Structure 1
Amino acid sequence: MKKTLLNLAAVMCALLALVFIVVPGPSVIFLLGGLLCLSVNYPRARNWLRKIQIAFKNMCVKLDRRLR
């Protein structure tokens, strides 16, 4: 039951992310939320989440350096 609810939450977050790509909104946050829900049960999603977290950290560091 728990796995089904987490998968359903991940699908809902992914759908909201797709909607917010077209309509202005926080699509990245919903995409990360869906990936976070999937990473609880699936190790492959956990690896993708780790890669995306590293990429976001690197982008933020580069942006911070550029804005100084």
Structure 2
Amino acid sequence: MKKLLLNVLAAVCALLALLFIVVPGPSIVFLLAGLLCLSFNYSWARGYLKKTQTGFKRICMQLDKRLR
């Protein structure tokens, strides 16, 4: 039951992310939330989530250097 609920929540987040790509909204937040929900059950999602986290950290550090 828990696995099914997390998968449904991940699907809803993915659909909202697709919707917010077309209309203005926080699509990246919903994509990350969907990956987070999937990472509880699937190891491949954990890998993508880890890559995404390191990418965002690197981008934020570059922006921080440029803004100083």
Query: CA offsets, 1:16-68, max 9 Å, x none?
Result: 00000111000000000000000000001001000000000000000111111
Stretches of structure 2 that go unaligned for 5 or more consecutive residues are none
TM-score after normalising by structure 1: 0.98
- Aligned residue for 2:62? 62
Q: Which runs of 4+ in 1 moved over 4 A?
A: none
Partner secondary structure for residue 24 of structure 1? coil
TM-score after normalising by structure 2: 0.98
Stretches of structure 1 that go unaligned for 5 or more consecutive residues are none
2:63 and 2:29 map into 1 onto residues whose CA distance is 18
